[in-house]
Amino acid sequence: MYQNWLKKHEGTDQVTGSKTADMRAALVDYFRDEAIIMIATEAAAEGINLQFCSLVINYDLPWNPQRIEQRIGRCHRYGQKHDVVVVNFLNKKNAADQRVYQLLDEKFKLFSGVFGASDEVLGSIGSGIDFEKRIADIYQKCRTEEQIQFNFDELQREMEIQIDERIQQTRQKLLENFDEEVHEKLRMNQNASSEVLSKYDNWLWQLTRFYLQPYAKFEDGANGFTLIENPFPEEQIHRGPYRSGKNAEDVNLYRLGHALAQKIIARCKQLPTEVKELEFHYTGSGKKISILEPLIGRSGFMTVMVLTAKSLDTEDHILLGAVREDGVPLFPEQSQRLFSLDARETPLSITIEFDRLKPLIDQQLKSQANEVVQRLTDRNASVFEMELDKLDRWGEDQRNSLRVALRELEDKIKAVKKEARLAPNLPEKLKLEREKRQLESKRDEAWKEYEQAAKDIEARKDTLMDEIEKRMNQILSEETLFTIRWKVQ
C-alpha cells in the first residue's frame, strides 16, 4: 500500500518525506478508496481525518473520556455527511466495567448529547489523566462488588459537581450568544422550567394559555395549570391539575394528543382572524435572532395562507408573504421568526398602503406555492424511481431463483437420460424413463412459474404507475389564514 501510494503521488506535495506520516496517509487513502474495515491501535485516535467513515467500534473502551472523544472525533467532524454510529464493546459480567461505561455515557454524555461532550463536559476534568488514575486505583484495590460500587459512587458524586457547573456555564453562554434557531436545534429553552421543550411543545403551551385564560389558573414559571371550569361542557374533560413532561405524577398528563389539547387547537382554528396591527418586541426580549435585526424600526404587511394538496394523501403547507413598507420583500425565514417574539395587537382596517403592497405579497405567495408543488412533484418522482428499482431487483431475484431451479432440473434430466442409455436391462430403463418424465413435468411447471413471475412483475409495475398517476393528479386549494400589519421594535 505504501509503495503504491508513493508511486501515485510521486513529485507532489503530498509526499512529505517522513515515512511515518506518509505511511499513515497511505493507509487512510487505502481505507477510503478500497478497504471496508480499518483495525487500528490508539495511534489512529489523533491526527487523521476519517469523515468518509461513519461507524466507530470501540473494541476496548479507554477510561479517559478525552481519548474516547478523540476516537469518535476522527469520524464525527466537519465534512461528515451521515450520522456517526458508535458501537462500544462492554463486559457485562464485570461490575467495574459497567460502572465506567455508566459514567462515560450518563455523566460525560460521550455517546449522546446535543453538541458533543468536548464542548460541554470534558473541560471540567482537566486532562482526564486524574480521572483515569482514579479508575485504575479502583480496579487495583477493590476486590468485591460492594467495594467497587461504593468507590464508584464516591467518584460519581465528585464528578457530578464539576460536570453540572460546567454544563450550566456552557448553556448560559449559548443562551447569550447563539441565535434562537441554534437553541431550538439543541432543544434548549430559556424559561424557568426544568423540562426541555421542543418548538411544538412551546406553541401548544402558548395556545393553551391563550384559550384557557378564563377557565384555568396557570403556574408561574412552569408548564402546568389547574382547570377550574370545563371550557367544553359537551365533552368530558377532567378538572384539576395538568402538567407536561416526564415527572408528571398524580396529575393529568398534558400533551399534543390529549383530548383537551386537540379541542383547543380545533376551536382556535375556527376563531375569526380580523386584520390587525402587531407590534413585535425584539429589543429587550432577551433573544438573539440575527435574521430579524435588520427589521428593527421597520413595518409592513404580511399575509399567511395554507396550501392544501390532495392526492393519495392530504398535505398542508403554510405560506408566508410579507413586504416592508418600502416594498422590499421579507425572506420566509424572517416572517416565520417574527412569530417567536411577543407582540402587542391593535385594531386596523385595510388601508391604501396595503392595496399598494398586495401585488408584491401575492407574487411571493404564488412563488412559494410553485416551490411546494415542485417539491411534491420531485418527491413523487423519487418515490416512483425507488419503488420501480425495488420491483426490478425483486423481479430479478425471482427470475434468478427460477433460472437456478430450471438449470438444476435440466442437469438432472440429462443425467437420467445418460443413465437410461447405459441401463443394463429393460426394467431399469423403464424406471429411469419414468423418472425422466417426472423431472420434465417439474421443468414444465417451473417454466410456467417463470412466465407467471414475469407477468406478476409487470402487473405490479402497472399498479405502481397507476398509484403515481393518482399522486400526480393533485387537487390544490388555498385559504387565507390572516393578514397583519407588522412593526418590529
Domain limits, the chain: 37-177, 199-270
pLDDT band of residue 28 (cuts 50, 70, 90) is very high
Asked if the model's pLDDT at residue 106 lies above 60, the reply is yes
pLDDT band of residue 195 (cuts 50, 70, 90) is very low
pLDDT reported for residue 35: 94
pLDDT reported for residue 66: 78
pLDDT band of residue 171 (cuts 50, 70, 90) is low
Return the residue matching grid coordinates 378538572. 239
Summarize pLDDT for 245-263 with one digit per residue, the tens.
665 566 788 888 888 999 9
Asked if the model's pLDDT at residue 177 lies above 60, the reply is no
Summarize pLDDT for 291-349 with one digit per residue, the tens.
888 999 999 999 999 999 887 678 899 999 999 988 899 988 889 889 888 899 887 76
pLDDT reported for residue 312: 66
The residues near 113 (Cβ < 8 Å, ≥ 6 apart) are: 120
Percentage of the chain exceeding pLDDT 90: 22
Virtual torsion, Cα 320, 323, 328, 334, nearest 10 deg = -50
pLDDT reported for residue 170: 62
Reference 279, options 39, 139, 485; nearest CA is: 485
Instruction: Look at residue 300 and give its three-state secondary structure.
Output: strand
pLDDT reported for residue 424: 83
Strands (E), 196-284: 216-218, 224-227, 240-243, 252-253, 276-280
Reference 69, options 31, 32, 123, 24; nearest CA is: 123
Asked if the model's pLDDT at residue 366 lies above 90, the reply is yes
Question: What is the rounded distance in angstroms from the CA atom of residue 6 to the CA atom of residue 25?
Answer: 10
pLDDT reported for residue 115: 41
Mean of the pLDDT values across residues 393-413? 79
Which range (60-69, 115-124, 441-450) has the least confidence?
Answer: 115-124
pLDDT reported for residue 203: 85
Query: Which residue type does 88 have?
Result: N
Summarize pLDDT for 404-459 with one digit per residue, the tens.
878 888 888 888 888 888 888 888 888 888 888 888 888 888 888 778 877 887 88
Summarize pLDDT for 178-191 with one digit per residue, the tens.
566 665 555 544 44
pLDDT reported for residue 158: 74
pTM of the predicted model as reported, rounded to 2 decimal places: 0.54
DSSP one-letter code for 235? S
pLDDT reported for residue 179: 66
